Chains A and B, each alone.
Chain A
Amino acid sequence: MLNIHNASVYFAGRNGAPIKALDRISLEIPAGGIVVALGASGCGKSTLLNAIAGFLPLSEGTITLEGKPVTGPGADRGVVFQKDTLLPWRNVVDNVALGLDFAGFPRSVARPKAQELLQLVGLQDFAHSAPYELSGGMRQRVGIARALATDPAILLMDEPFGALDSLTREQMQELLISVWDKTKKTIFLITHSIDEALSLATHVVVMSPRPGRIAARYDVAFVRRFARTGLWGAVTSDPEFIRLREDIRALIHQSDLPIADMQRSAAHE
């Protein structure tokens, strides 16, 4: 379980005045759940993920993972980035084994384990390909396998499918659900797609911008139903799904900056 308590982040503004990017966020990510942070750009969802990953220190507040405070990046939190960050000088299986290599596992342990994870994401036949020989979707799958290799307590995903075309994206969502179903990993994922949030989450957290705040939370169960049935259509055409989608859309539009405010910030820049 990951706990975020009163987390605030201030960045340096152009004139030296601090800009509040996250405003006293408190959030609990339960073990085995998929918490999806949803919001327009600038709502602080990436900032929040960077803080959980340990790439960004908090200005105020605490983050604890299974009781231990987060002070920096570590292998207990696997990260999948929007842009793939595979090492071009390592082939696919060696990329997946990177974290195991860092941890000092011998090749004879790390490679079979990496191969196993490639199987999990359906890339067992591409173990010896170079990353640049794979498509964007395949590279992202390697990224997921790599993040899982060190058996992290939580998987952090920063708009992992944002750069993919919509067809590949749907396949990747299915893949993620099957991986989650098999590994029971805790996942924190950020997206700006309402449909993606509702389809993947056990808990949706809607964020509003300037400063980043949590505007609403929803507990949903569509992902469990999908994992059971494997039918997208039945899930996305569910009246409850459609109602929630409209609710969230209205909420996001309503939390947009008023016109006057926008003009003020435009004049500022």
Chain B
Amino acid sequence: MSDAIAECQRLAATEAPAPRIVALRDVGLGTGKTLGVSAATIVVLLSLWGLVSGMRLVAPLFLPTPSEVVAQFVAVFQDGYANATLAQHLSASLIRISLAAAIALALAVPIGLAMGLNRWAKGVFDPPIEFYWPLPPLSYLPLMIIWLGIGETSKIALLALAMFAPICLSAQAGVRSVPLERVNAALSLGATRWQLFRHIVLPSALPEILTGLRIALGVGWGTLVAAELIASTRGIGYMIMSASNFLATDVVFVGIAVIAACAFVFSYALRWLETVLVPWKGKS
């Protein structure tokens, strides 16, 4: 009897066509793949650019052709632009943004965590942060220059200030998102205050802190170019500004492409960091 069943199952397994795999229908986008559509969009946009500029529908001064931009990229890469090589411009910008990010992280994470945990910290830091963070960084750039000079300090300070607020606010939100039961569970297992912070609060707040860092880096790139527009001799932002003064639109395009590539790499690096540091995110 059981042999017959096994035989039937074997026959069914060999003869049946591949089953139709089904899943519940999604609302909205769901898990639909967008990669193909996005790739097609990029191709269409690039060809449109090539077509419009190639047919000289727009003056090259306003819209260079893709091949001109690529040629200019090679030229800037090899010979440099505005008294510095592309690598020097890029490293000047990268050093500024990395230093500022490090300073912002080192200050914003402890202060944000303290604000989430302590009435005094919250009371002391809330007014200044609530006051300055909605301001556009460019509006206090002159103050930075007056106080800190036109060198690197004022630029890094400006960037650090711009990046501080999102990290600080997210660290605070991270503390507030710690479930009370998780805290109570740790206390009933004998956690001291420090252990509670180290083993419960900090890891619970980590996903939020990383999200804050991602937002901060976005803000950082935006502020960086603005900071380099004024009184600098190096940097991608400076390169763009200088090129625009000479109506070298192709160099402006090169600068924009470099910034876009950097921002993309940073964003991916952070996503990778998230999968390493908080693999549980969204799973519990």
User: Which segment of B79-87, B177-185, B220-228 sits at the interface?
Assistant: B177-185
For the complex formed, measure the closest distance between the CB of B276 and the CB atoms of chain A, giving whole angstroms: 12
**B interface residues (Cβ-Cβ under 8 A, vs A):** 179, 181-182, 184-192, 195, 199-200, 203, 278-280, 283-284
Q: 24 A-B pairs, CB-CB below 8 angstroms?
A: A54-B187, A54-B188, A55-B187, A73-B188, A74-B187, A74-B190, A75-B190, A79-B185, A81-B184, A85-B182, A85-B184, A87-B182, A88-B283, A89-B280, A101-B199, A102-B189, A102-B192, A130-B279, A130-B280, A132-B280, A132-B284, A146-B189, A150-B189, A150-B190
Beyond contacts A81-B181, A87-B199, A130-B279: 15 other A-B pairs, Cβ-Cβ < 8 A, are: A53-B184, A73-B184, A73-B188, A74-B187, A75-B188, A77-B188, A85-B182, A88-B280, A88-B283, A98-B186, A98-B189, A98-B199, A102-B190, A103-B190, A132-B283
B185 with A85: CB separation less than 8 A: yes
A74 with B188: CB separation less than 8 A: yes
A83 contacts chain B at the CB level, 8 A cutoff: yes
Chain B residues near A78 (CB-CB < 8 A): 188-189
Q: Bin the interface of chain A by size.
A: 20 to 34
**B-facing mask of A214-256, CB < 8 A → 1, else 0?**
0000000000000000000000000000000000000000000
Beyond A85-B181, A87-B200, whether A73 also contacts B280 by CB under 8 A is no
A131 contacts chain B at the CB level, 8 A cutoff: yes
**B-facing mask of A93-136, CB < 8 A → 1, else 0?**
00000110111000000000000000000000000001110000
Beyond A73-B184, A81-B181, A83-B181, whether A131 also contacts B190 by CB under 8 A is no
Chain B residues near A83 (CB-CB < 8 A): 181
Beyond A81-B181, A98-B199, whether A88 also contacts B188 by CB under 8 A is no
Chain A residues near B190 (CB-CB < 8 A): 74-75, 99, 102-103, 150
Chain B residues near A101 (CB-CB < 8 A): 199
For the complex formed, measure the closest distance between the CB of B51 and the CB atoms of chain A, giving whole angstroms: 50
- Residue of chain A at shortest CB distance from B190: A75
Among A152-167, those with CB < 8 Å from B are 156
A85 with B278: CB separation less than 8 A: no
Distance in angstroms between the alpha carbons of A77 and B195 in the assembled complex: 18
